[in-house]
Amino acid sequence: EAGVTQFPSHSVIEKGQTVTLRCDPISGHDNLYWYRRVMGKEIKFLLHFVKESKQDESGMPNNRFLAERTGGTYSTLKVQPAELEDSGVYFCASSQDRELQGIHYEQYFGPGTRLTVT
Amino acid sequence: QKEVEQDPGPLSVPEGAIVSLNCTYSNSAFQYFMWYRQYSRKGPELLMYTYSSGNKEDGRFTAQVDKSSKYISLFIRDSQPSDSATYLCAPREVGGTSYGKLTFGQGTILTVHP
């Protein structure tokens, strides 16, 4: 079974440009999450999809970030326009159904996209 | 104040040592407590988790949660060079809108030298 895949693995763009990151979750996983880690900081939650709906987008830093998950399969995260502080590693994760009491569904992480804004 | 505090280390130990990794947290709503391991240039992978307070053992690894003191621990016995990685604690709530949100500590960089 293929794991979570992310594309590209590395992206270098100039300030003001647009970048789109893609995540393909594990097949059959309804839950998809975006996280990011900026240099020297902890990994921070961005948002959570359940199928194609946004369950929780409390971690999105501002309106320059747009996440979509059309059809409930893969997801894209667009940054427009990119700023220097957006540099970091963006992780995607997926998990099965919403947990029942006492049953935890593991979030499987992809390898991340390393974004560098110059 | 961060919701989860974790000493980033780095921590260097000889092979065979017992390693103790710790986090503290402030959010009383956390019910699941995960430990992730991350190798360089890879995504985090779940090592083990506990639900509410108590201990859980899995081979050489033991996870402990003390909710009264909001303290999370991971112990590694007979540490091996292959255990060298960054260890991240990541608790989360149950129910509500944010049930899927993992709140990560900064991660502790561990090196086990032969």
Q: How confident is the model at residue A103 (pLDDT cuts 50, 70, 90)?
A: low
Q: Rg of chain A's alpha carbons, rounded to an integer?
A: 14
Q: CA-CA distance, B50 to B16, in Å (whole number)?
A: 25
Q: Would A87 be classed as within a structural domain?
A: yes
Q: How confident is the model at residue A32 (pLDDT cuts 50, 70, 90)?
A: very high
Q: Which residues contact A11 (CB under 8 A, 6 or more apart)?
A: A19, A21, A113, A114, A115, A116
Q: CA-CA distance, B74 to B19, in Å (whole number)?
A: 8
CATH of the domain at A84: 2.60.40.10
Once rounded to an integer, what is the mean pLDDT over residues B71-94? Answer: 96
The torsion angles phi and psi of A70, rounded to 5 degrees, stand at -70, 130
Q: CA-CA distance, A97 to A51, in Å (whole number)?
A: 10
Question: A60: domain range?
Answer: 5-113
Q: Would A98 be classed as within a structural domain?
A: yes
Chain A residues inside the 8 Å CB shell of B107: 42-43
Q: Number of folded domains in chain A?
A: 1
Bridge partners (DSSP) of residue B7 are none
Q: What mean pLDDT is reported for chain A?
A: 93
Q: How many residues are recorded in chain B?
A: 114
CATH of the domain at B82: 2.60.40.10
Give the B-side interface with A, CB within 8 Å.
2, 4, 6, 32, 36, 41-46, 49, 51, 88, 90, 94, 97-107
Copy the structure tokens of residue A116. Answer: 């560098």
Question: Which of B4, B43, B98 lies at the smallest CB-CB distance from A56?
Answer: B98
Per-residue confidence (pLDDT) for residue B52, from 0 to 100 = 83
The answer to whether residue A18 scores a pLDDT higher than 90 is yes
The continuous run of DSSP H or E covering B92 comes out as strand B85-93
Q: Would A118 be classed as within a structural domain?
A: no
Per-residue confidence (pLDDT) for residue A99, from 0 to 100 = 61
Q: How confident is the model at residue A11 (pLDDT cuts 50, 70, 90)?
A: very high
Q: Would A55 be classed as within a structural domain?
A: yes
> What does the pLDDT look like over B26-56, one tens digit per residue?
999 999 999 999 999 999 999 999 988 889 9
Chain A's closest residue to B6, CA to CA, is A42
Question: Which of A31, A42, A48 lies at the smallest CB-CB distance from B105?
Answer: A42
Copy the structure tokens of residue A31. Answer: 């839950």
Q: Number of folded domains in chain B?
A: 1
Asked if A58 and B103 come within 8 Å (Cβ–Cβ), the reply is no
- Cβ atoms of B52 and B67 within 8 Å: the answer is yes
Q: Would A39 be classed as within a structural domain?
A: yes
Copy the structure tokens of residue B40. Answer: 């360089």
Q: How confident is the model at residue A102 (pLDDT cuts 50, 70, 90)?
A: low
